[in-house]
Structure 1
Amino acid sequence: MNTIDIITQPATTLSDADVLWNDILAEVEQQRTANPVISSFLDKMALQNGSMADAAALLLGSRMGGNGVSEWSVRKLCQQAYAENPELLAVMVKDLLAIVHRDPASYSLSAPFLFFKGFHALQVYRVARHYWLNGQQFSALALQSAASAAFGVDIHPAARIGAGVMIDHATGVVIGETAVIGDNVSILHNVTLGGSGNKQGDRHPKVGAGVLIGAGATLLDNIRIGDNAKIGAGAVVLRNVPPRHIATGVPARNRPMADDQDPPAMTGDQSFLDDFGVDYMI
């Protein structure tokens, strides 16, 4: 495999998408032989496409078509966005490699590209944000609505999300309008980054780089989650979490991480020690 390691080489170029796409095609070709019943799907969604951009546009259109926006419209919006903003492909590479590096259930590049709805929902958000920033808010909101219906993931196109982000399992993830998420963050299912009350303005959490947010966690209001922090499963976080701290419980309490711990988002380590020194998986 010739893929680029985002851990050691965080800066990618458009050519990296070409390298990655060649690796994906090689994997799909092997799987086509082993899985003849779905060979036509693999042909259409991968092998018959000349680039990652073409395949992504076709795939997202296929997944989302019929959820209030036609398959053709989704595909056209994606194709246009990728042509106008090549950086979307560079970020797609980082998102895909984040899954390969961090998700123990991912054994290849091609499987998350073709089948993982967290990856798909994130790429739709990135296309929607392109249109949001270019004054086409209704196109952005149409994509948001269709993605929510298709994937059970609701990300407002005004939210700001960095590169190398993994949304694992993804069902029930909600990310509000003024939320900010840094680079290399890992988010599990049923996570909410929400506001508090009905006030307008800056009202959603700001999540630093390298953060791991466990399943079912709820983060509310304009709070700050420091770099390389860990949010426990089911935690309700209402206050700031300092860098390299663990927040667990309802309401969440903070405790410092060990100095020698690697960034939680990179390791996927969801364990912590309670007050009695007992190790739990969260």
Structure 2
Amino acid sequence: MDNSAVWAKMQEEARVFCRAEPALASFYHASVLAHPALSGALSYTLAEKLHSADLPSLLLRQLFTEAYEASPALVDACVRDVLACIERDPACHHYTMPLLFFKGFQALQCYRAAHWLWQQGRKAMALFFQNQIAQTFDVDIHPAARLGAGILMDHATGIVIGETAVVGDDVSMLHGVTLGGSGYSKGDRHPKIGPGVLISAQAKLLGNITVGEGAKIAGGSVVLASVPAHTTVAGVPAKPVGRPASPAPAREMNHHTGDESA
């Protein structure tokens, strides 16, 4: 489904919700129906979430708009993130839900703008964004980290992603996940997560390690060594316990461990 189709779905849903719950009609109008495109709805919604006395919503909205106009790929990634919610989160029943109600999705879109600012050399503003995102959503993503598209941050509370971390496309992670460093080392010091990886709740991945495509990290695991592709690891420290049943466990969201391929 392309960007225009997703945006059309959101507008259609907002109209239905306005009729079903008139008390929220102004909310749906301001957040969705007042905007000609998804980029406008994003700019408005994220600015309303992230504003502070130091950076009011009007100025934030201008910053988001500037980012989306300069880099349409940010909106493309947003659409893939929406579809990830629809496809993988059983609690996501409507296309508007991630945009309006899911703090993991909202934090991820704010990070994308912060990353764009970082790439433009506006590091002070990017770090300001990081701080506001952490305070608002309890999600701490360094703006220099590189995250792909089609990412699901389910529930999201307590997610931490360090400066040199890399997260591939179509990854799913739950609350409490840490992609952190190990010891006081500088330079490239954070995990590299391949596409299609599932990282369950409260898993801690530490150091400059690689998690191969389609791997699965069990909940509560502490991962200190690289994980081969299409391997399930569990424990403290984590060790291989089998293979996921799916080549892309992030899409299946099956959190069972053990050898599922038998």
Query: Which category of TM-score, normalised to the shorter sequence, fits these structures?
Result: over 0.9
**Which residue of structure 2 aligns with residue 269 of structure 1?**
254
**Which residue of structure 1 aligns with residue 14 of structure 2?**
28
Inter-partner Cα distance in structure 2 for 1:99 and 1:66: 28
Spell out, residue by residue over 1:19-71, the C-alpha distance to the aligned partner (whole angstroms, 9 max, x if none).
Answer: 21111000111011111221111111111111100110000011111275322
* TM-score, normalised relative to structure 1: 0.89
Inter-partner Cα distance in structure 1 for 2:165 and 2:258: 29
Inter-partner Cα distance in structure 2 for 1:59 and 1:67: 17
- What is the Cα-based RMSD across aligned positions, in Å? 1.4
Query: How far does residue 113 in structure 1 lie from its aligned partner after superposition?
Result: 1.5
Letter in 2 for 1:212: L
**Residue 55 (structure 2) pairs with residue 101 (structure 1):** no
Inter-partner Cα distance in structure 2 for 1:191 and 1:67: 30
- Listed as ranges, the matches of 1:55-74 within 5 Å are 55-66=41-52, 68-74=54-60
Contact 2:181 2:190 (C-alpha < 8 Å) held by counterparts: yes
Cα 1:172–1:241 change in 2 (3 A) is same
Contact 1:69 1:146 (C-alpha < 8 Å) held by counterparts: no
Contact 2:242 2:258 (C-alpha < 8 Å) held by counterparts: no
**Residue 75 (structure 2) pairs with residue 86 (structure 1):** no
Contact 1:67 1:150 (C-alpha < 8 Å) held by counterparts: no
**Which residue of structure 2 aligns with residue 236 of structure 1?**
222
Inter-partner Cα distance in structure 2 for 1:234 and 1:67: 38
Contact 2:234 2:257 (C-alpha < 8 Å) held by counterparts: no
Query: How far does residue 218 in structure 1 lie from its aligned partner after superposition?
Result: 0.4
**Which residue of structure 1 aligns with residue 147 of structure 2?**
161
- Listed as ranges, the matches of 1:86-235 within 5 Å are 86-235=72-221
- Find the partner of 1:257 among 222, 229, 243: 243
Moved more, 17-26 or 149-158: 17-26
Q: Give identity over the alignment, percent.
A: 43
Inter-partner Cα distance in structure 1 for 2:189 and 2:54: 29
Inter-partner Cα distance in structure 2 for 1:257 and 1:29: 45
Spell out, residue by residue over 1:64-89, the C-alpha distance to the aligned partner (whole angstroms, 9 max, x if none).
Answer: 11275322232111000001111111
**Which residue of structure 2 aligns with residue 42 of structure 1?**
28
SS of 1:126's partner is helix
Contact 1:237 1:250 (C-alpha < 8 Å) held by counterparts: yes
Inter-partner Cα distance in structure 1 for 2:246 and 2:155: 25
Q: How many residues align?
A: 260
Letter in 2 for 1:252: A
Mark the runs of 5 or more structure 2 residues left unpaired by the alignment: none
Spell out, residue by residue over 1:81-114, the C-alpha distance to the aligned partner (whole angstroms, 9 max, x if none).
Answer: 0011111111111111011011111111011121
Spell out, residue by residue over 1:201-260, the C-alpha distance to the aligned partner (whole angstroms, 9 max, x if none).
Answer: 0000000000000000000000110100000110000011110111111111113315x5
Spell out, residue by residue over 1:251-281, the C-alpha distance to the aligned partner (whole angstroms, 9 max, x if none).
Answer: 11113315x534110100001238xx9xxxx
Inter-partner Cα distance in structure 1 for 2:43 and 2:173: 24
Letter in 2 for 1:104: P
**Which residue of structure 2 aligns with residue 10 of structure 1?**
none
Mark the runs of 5 or more structure 1 residues left unpaired by the alignment: 5-15, 278-282
SS of 2:257's partner is strand
Inter-partner Cα distance in structure 1 for 2:145 and 2:53: 22
Inter-partner Cα distance in structure 1 for 2:185 and 2:247: 37
Cα 1:42–1:215 change in 2 (3 A) is same
